[in-house]
Amino acid sequence: MRKLFAYLKPYWRAALLAPSLLLLEVAADLAQPILMARIVDLGIQGGDLSLILRTGALMIGAALVGVLGGMGCTYFASIVSQNFGTDLRSGLFAKVQSLSFANLDQFKTASLITRLTNDVTQLQGVVLAMQRIMVRAPLLSIGGIIMALYINPSLASVLLIAVPLMVVILAVVLKKGFPLFATVQRKLDGVNSVIGENLSGVRVVKAFVRADYENERFRQANGELAATGIQAQRVVGLMMPAIFLIMNLSIVAVIWFGGLKVDQGQMQVGQVMAFINYLTQILFSLMMVAFMLMMVSRAKASALRVAEVLETKPQIVDPAFPQDPAGPGGQVEFRNVSFQYRPGSKPVLEEVSFIAKPGERVAILGTTGAGKTTLVNLISRFYDVSEGSLLVDGVDVRDLELMTLRQKIGLVSQESILFSGTIAENIRWGREEATADEVIAAAKAAQAHDFIMSFPLGYDTILGQRGVNLSGGQKQRLAIARALLKKPQILILDDSTSAVDLGTEARIQEALRGRPQKQTTFIIAQRISSVLEADKIIVLEEGRISAMGSHPELLEESPAYREICRSQLGEEAV
């Protein structure tokens, strides 16, 4: 929780100035009833018009001072809350960016979105309210009690009953409300999850005519959120009638006993009126404290969720004493590498050993779940090996700075992720300083130039979110161009041509072979035709290397590889 307070520290001056100005507003509010009593008891009953005018002018002046103090408080409180929210959201986003894949596996995407938006907004609102309501309400309540005691200590005994009752109600509401508001945030995660899945997969939903099913999923998630929200608000709703009942009974008691004191000559009418005003201020202040505490209890749930992310330690970090790459650029070596996602779970990779030399093309084949994508993810150090070691250019990846390692690597993943912006901006995404000619050259190598130029704006064409206005094959070719423009020493193509036709894929492969720079290339492919000319083909079966060699060598030595070739190329090819 201390991490959250740190985001307030840069604005401590404004945070102190806001409640200081609020003191003027509170003082003005407390002065009004006693000034009004003076007008009634001395001015009206004594027929002193000049006193009425002077006191009335004083009341107007106090009101103006209070308005200025309130406006100043709101101004500085807004500065603090808005900047706090902005900095916290930026810090939270930066933290998410620093987390490893293993950390991100702990949080769902929808939950992170809720924490970055709704939870931060909740905290931002509390910071604003803390500088106004949580300062104004206690001061007004304490000041009201002091003024009530000043007017008539014996009549103030009504507060001895009303205030404790209010406190009890507040305690009960807080005890029941906090768990409910924490549940509300979790239910909101569920709603965001359904929304996110449907917005990103709307084409699949329509293609499979599953709109009714998805509507029902959303209705259920939305209904659970509404039911929990109603339950939480019911607790707050029950508080309101109880508070107003206490307030009205207290006013009746003051009028009754105050009237008796006026009749006995122990009080004046103006004093009773002022006392009722102070009583109302006290009880309304306590009610505002109740609402504020409910808001704080809800924000506490948000604070815990935000702090959970901020306090998560990245599992993949830079080494304390990083080493410089020692060997030739682009060499990758696996030494008895085993990997499992969680301790005690079934290994995804077991005792994998091989060397990819600079400039080699290494293909990785295997059935679904064989561990192909996991293997290349280890090269970028998205995860750390469980056993063994993985070396890039002669140095264990755990001894390399992450930036140094990942600058060497160009990755085209199974899902082609594009970002809002122009086509040129997406291709330049890994190398912003690239020239227009370099962008075009990378696009031509990825066989993307022709379809890009078919758009009216060419490379300045704006892409929709996630490249929604492109086909799957077009997105894959832009992703390949983006990786090529980076000019990496190690290029990883993870099933990156699955959505393009055979002719286009062949031209992409030819362009990759003809690129001038020496580049170690890892190719994960489902089509055997994509890897026939690879220098080394690795066949994975259940996380183990069952065969490794060139195409001719594997045809001679590997039954599994022959079966793959037979199923895709026919008996003649084998």
The strand order across the sheet containing 332-339 reads: 349-356, 332-339, 387-392, 395-396
> Any idea what the Cα angle at residue 247 is, between residues 242 and 251, rounded to 5°?
150
Gap between the Cα atoms of 416 and 499, Å rounded: 10
- Nearest in space to 4 (alpha carbons), one of 99, 127, 132: 127
Distance CA 317, CA 102 (A): 12
Q: What is the pLDDT of residue 571?
A: 63
**137 Cβ contact partners less than 8 Å away, ≥ 6 residues apart:** 285, 286, 288, 289, 292
For residue range 290-315, list pLDDT tens digits in order: 777 777 777 877 888 888 888 888 88
- pLDDT score for 212: 83
What is the phi-psi region of residue 330: left when phi exceeds 0, alpha when psi lies from -120 to 50, beta otherwise? left
Question: Residue 334 has what pLDDT?
Answer: 94
Dist. CA 477–CA 497, nearest whole Å: 8
pLDDT of 501 higher than 80: no
Q: What is the mean pLDDT of residues 249-265?
A: 83
Q: Which two tokens stand for residue 427?
A: 């291709």
- Per the model's pLDDT, the better-predicted residue between 212 and 355 turns out to be 355
Q: Are 15 and 80 in contact (CB under 8 A)?
A: yes
2-310 CATH fold: ABC transporter transmembrane region fold (1.20.1560)
| Assessment of whether the complete model's pTM goes beyond 0.75 | no
Q: Which CATH class is domain 325-408+526-574?
A: alpha beta
Per-residue pLDDT at 375? 92
**Can you give the residue ranges of every domain in the chain?**
2-310, 325-408+526-574
How far apart, in whole angstroms, are the C-alpha atoms of residue 74 and residue 62? 18
Q: What is the pLDDT of residues 411-470, one digit of tens each?
A: 888 788 888 889 999 899 888 888 999 999 999 988 889 899 998 999 998 887 666 678
